[in-house]
């Protein structure tokens, strides 16, 4: 888990960079120091530059990057390849490959040398890498199938820049045209994140998940999708499906434990993280797990996680987050994100990762399970609306007219509206913050509708049921844009490698063929039924049957207290009035504080953008460096309940 930046010049025989350019490149790399504090390498060649910040996990003494292979390839690689030892043996046997290190970086370089882009489907892992072919002057790059690791790109008249974070490209984007992408901003206010491949900077883009690119000085950037997750029901018995899930997840978790540094795990209240912990403990009985909660009644999973840890026999260190912690660290959190993400659960994740980083260098987590196995309660909506959706179109139009006549907030209106709205218009992800009508009031510009992000995804799932279409939308939007983005940024903020065993190719294959009734049985109120059944006898029954809670975050309460005062001033003083209607946003906050409506998610979304604007555009807020300490800084032991409280230095 590391940070990379790359530059390849568009000018023939460009030579080595001058002193000022080299200094700028090295300074840009330093903005990602948190991603790899163990080693820093910068190499300049004719017309190319490679920078790398290493968090040493495997073959710590060797395996430095950039990696060179056969006097042809220069490779920088962020991530982990969990089957690299098998690939290494295959390369030696089939091609006589030789290796100077014991790490996965050189295996990746050799795989690309011998197999070219055909190496990509063979990789089990998370990755974003760049491989420069010195013989042809071609830069190759790729991002893992689900978008676990990020990769940004900027193409200018000077050449192509790549980096693990957008901030490392900003010094080279000056003078490249208008900076704010208003379409991306409009999508942010719908989804609470900026969807791939967009960023808020018009000229900087993300390489989408499952894509690779090639670049040459004469041909520019060409991208191609090498992997697209497909969910297509297969005929199999529930017992066979559950066995396949159990075997694939066990193998994945065991592979994800390989490291030359301490490995722990995150543990919440749900079946996902509990399954990962239970399977990890099979080969690592001394596993150390971590959980977090808030100092507010009803907004903590700590006690549940502690009970689960006790039943599994693992030691646990909880962290309690206070309102003062949030106000102090929120500017730094937003700065780390590059583009705003208004998911409040990234706040506890930040502090959770901070605590874990004091004890371990790698942690396992349960991201990806909900999208693959049908874990969101919203996936039950098609079944609840089926009685309306089966009606003739004329009758549905009449009911929709009736819904509009019912006053806002009156019981039944929302049900009629949703039931008479096609799913392509009704569902565009887990977080639907501002509706098109509300965005028309908030935004002072016009932009592409949200359907520009999702319409092609529905077209690709026209032959499956609505639940699978919803999962497909989330796999391509919500998962990389929100879930994996916050996981990467909040963990890397503290130089912690976060691994996600559910997003393994073998686990995906076991989930992809599940029919909807195996995930969401018609006469059950639980989600992820097949996964829960697969974990029978592995995780405690109390956990296996528990409904999903997620990271409950007291945003609604915060906005009525001191954090709300701070956010009101932030929106009033920092929000760009030429882009959003600040008075409208402040009315939403006033209504919320008066108890007239729950506008917490809308206000939080505006606030995170306002904070982003103050940091990256106006530069009126400069986040302080990380200055947190742990109290008390003591180890935890099996079944002890030691709480880490975050305080400022």
Domain ranges of the chain: 2-225, 238-316+341-375+477-552, 378-467, 555-616
Is the full-model pTM beyond 0.75?
yes
456 pLDDT above the threshold of 60: yes
Cα separation, 358 vs 317, in Å, equals 11
Active site includes 2? yes
498 pLDDT above the threshold of 80: yes
CB 109 within 8 A of CB 91: no
Cα separation, 251 vs 151, in Å, equals 28
Q: Write down the pLDDT at residue 91.
A: 97
Cα separation, 76 vs 163, in Å, equals 10
* Contacts within 8 Å (CB) and 24+ apart, 589-597: 589/559, 589/564, 592/556, 592/559, 592/560, 592/564, 593/559, 593/560, 593/564
Fold of 238-316+341-375+477-552: Rossmann fold (3.40.50)
Catalytic residue among 1, 2, 186, 267, which?
Answer: 2
For range 528-553, the mean pLDDT = 87
632 pLDDT above the threshold of 60: no
Report which of residues 205 and 632 the model is more confident about: 205
CB 190 within 8 A of CB 439: yes
**CATH number, domain 2-225:** 3.60.20.10
Q: Write down the pLDDT at residue 177.
A: 52
Picking from 247, 228, 12, the residue whose alpha carbon sits closest to that of residue 121 is 228
Confidence band of 250 (pLDDT split at 50, 70, 90)? very high
Average pLDDT of the chain, as a whole number: 90
Picking from 57, 29, 55, 32, the residue whose alpha carbon sits closest to that of residue 43 is 29
Please, which residues have CB within 8 angstroms of residue 648's CB and are 6 or more apart in sequence? Answer: 324, 325, 328, 627, 628, 629
Identify the weakest region by mean pLDDT among 296-300, 456-460, 620-624: 296-300
Confidence band of 109 (pLDDT split at 50, 70, 90)? very high
Residue whose pair of structure tokens reads 């011998």 in the numeric block: 114
Q: What is the pLDDT of residues 212-242, one digit of tens each?
A: 999 999 889 999 999 999 999 998 899 999 9
């Amino acid at each position: 888990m590391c940070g990379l930046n790359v530059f390849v010049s568009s000018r023939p025989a460009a030579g080595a960079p001058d002193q000022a350019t080299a200094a700028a490149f090295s300074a840009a790399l330093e903005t990602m120091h948190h991603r790899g504090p163990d080693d820093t390498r910068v190499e300049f060649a004719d017309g190319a530059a490679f920078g790398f910040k290493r968090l040493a996990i495997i073959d710590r003494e060797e395996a430095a990057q950039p990696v060179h292979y056969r006097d042809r390839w220069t490779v920088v690689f962020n991530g982990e390849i969990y089957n690299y030892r098998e690939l290494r043996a295959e390369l030696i046997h089939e091609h006589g490959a030789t290796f100077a290190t014991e790490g996965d970086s050189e295996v990746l370089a050799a795989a690309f040398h011998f197999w070219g882009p055909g190496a990509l489907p063979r990789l089990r892992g998370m990755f974003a890498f760049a491989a420069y072919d010195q013989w042809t002057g071609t830069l190759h790059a790729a991002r893992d199938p689900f978008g676990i690791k990020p990769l940004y790109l900027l193409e200018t008249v000077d050449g192509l820049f790549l980096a693990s974070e957008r901030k490392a490209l900003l010094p080279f984007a000056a003078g490249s045209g208008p900076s704010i992408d208003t379409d991306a901003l409009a999508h942010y206010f719908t989804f609470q994140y900026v969807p791939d491949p967009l960023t808020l900077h018009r000229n900087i883009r993300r390489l989408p998940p499952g894509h690779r690119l090639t670049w040459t000085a004469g041909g520019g950037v060409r991208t191609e999708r090498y992997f697209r997750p497909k969910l297509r029901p297969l005929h199999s018995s529930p017992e066979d499906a559950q066995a396949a899930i159990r075997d694939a997840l066990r193998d994945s978790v065991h592979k994800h434990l390989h490291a030359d540094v301490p490995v722990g795990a995150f543990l919440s209240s749900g079946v996902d993280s509990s399954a990962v912990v239970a399977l990890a403990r099979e080969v690592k009985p001394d596993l150390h797990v971590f959980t977090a909660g808030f100092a507010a009644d009803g907004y903590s999973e700590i006690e549940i996680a502690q009970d689960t840890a006790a039943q599994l026999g693992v030691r646990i260190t909880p962290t309690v987050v206070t309102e003062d912690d949030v106000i102090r660290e929120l500017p730094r959190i937003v700065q780390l994100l590059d583009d705003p993400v208004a998911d409040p659960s990234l706040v506890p994740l930040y502090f959770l990762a901070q605590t874990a980083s004091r004890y371990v260098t790698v942690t396992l987590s349960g991201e990806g399970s909900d999208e693959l196995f049908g874990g969101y309660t919203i996936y039950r909506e098609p079944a609840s609306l089926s009685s309306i959706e089966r009606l003739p179109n004329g009758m549905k139009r009449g009911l929709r007219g009736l819904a509009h006549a019912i006053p806002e907030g009156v019981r039944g209106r929302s049900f009629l509206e949703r039931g008479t709205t096609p799913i392509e218009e009704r569902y565009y992800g887990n977080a639907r913050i501002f509706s098109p009508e509300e965005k028309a009031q908030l935004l002072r510009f016009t932009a592409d509708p949200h359907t520009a992000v999702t319409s092609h995804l529905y077209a690709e799932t026209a032959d499956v049921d609505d639940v699978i279409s919803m999962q497909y939308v989330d796999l391509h939007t919500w998962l990389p844009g929100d879930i994996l983005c916050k996981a990467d940024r909040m963990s890397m903020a503290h130089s912690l490698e976060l691994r996600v065993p559910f997003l393994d190719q073998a686990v995906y294959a076991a989930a992809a063929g599940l029919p909807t009734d195996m995930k969401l049985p018609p006469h059950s109120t639980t989600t992820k039924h097949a996964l829960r059944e697969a974990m029978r006898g592995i995780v405690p029954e109390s956990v296996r049957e528990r409904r999903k809670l997620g990271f409950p975050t007291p945003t609604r309460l915060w906005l009525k207290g001191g954090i709300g005062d701070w956010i009101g001033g932030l929106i009033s003083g920092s929000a760009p009035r030429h882009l959003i209607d600040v008075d409208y946003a402040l009315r939403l906050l006033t209504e919320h504080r008066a108890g007239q409506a729950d506008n917490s998610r809308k206000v939080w979304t505006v606030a995170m953008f306002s904070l982003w604007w103050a940091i990256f555009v106006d530069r009126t807020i400069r986040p302080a460096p990380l200055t947190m300490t742990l109290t008390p800084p003591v180890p935890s032991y099996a079944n002890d309940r030691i709480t880490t409280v975050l305080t400022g230095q």
